[in-house]
Copies of this chain bind each other. A is one copy, B any other.
Amino acid sequence: MPKSKTHLFGRKDVDLSEVCKVLAHPARIAILKELSKRRECVCGEIVNLIPLAQATVSQHLKELKSLGLITGEIEGPKSCYCIHWKRLEEVADSLGEFFDHLKTNYKQCC
């Protein structure tokens, strides 16, 4: 596509679309689900649970991290990824608010 046009849209719309973009891949959905299941952040297993190459999983983890949905500390041969619950709540709320906002204008028309 020629030049990106995101700057022509409102901050809120862009933010929301970026949240959705991060969630717009089954691997990232699956990673969030798996991470939520585990009490301890033994997350080396993530690579084995996701049917993609290690490098690819690492890339998906990075995107989740960039949105703040997960936190990760790596110590050499170990890593510790887990869900950043506070941020997850924020993200869930902003999506919820978006739908609620649409619904406040509900007027059946066709």
Give A contacts to B, CB under 8 Å. 5-6, 8-10, 13-14, 16-18, 20-21, 23-30, 32-33, 36-41, 51-52, 71, 73, 80, 82-83, 85, 88-89, 91-92, 95-96, 98-99, 101-103, 105-110
Q: Which of B40, B51, B91 contacts A8 (CB 8 A)?
A: B51
Q: Which of B6, B13, B106, B110 contacts A71 (CB 8 A)?
A: B110
A17 touches B9 (CB 8 A): no
B52 touches A5 (CB 8 A): yes
- 7 closest A-B pairs by beta carbon, nearest first, are A9-B26, A92-B99, A21-B24, A20-B23, A20-B24, A8-B51, A36-B105
Residues of B contacting A98 in the complex (Cβ-Cβ under 8 angstroms): 29
9 contacts between A and B (CB under 8 A): A16-B26, A17-B29, A20-B23, A20-B24, A38-B109, A73-B110, A82-B109, A85-B106, A92-B99
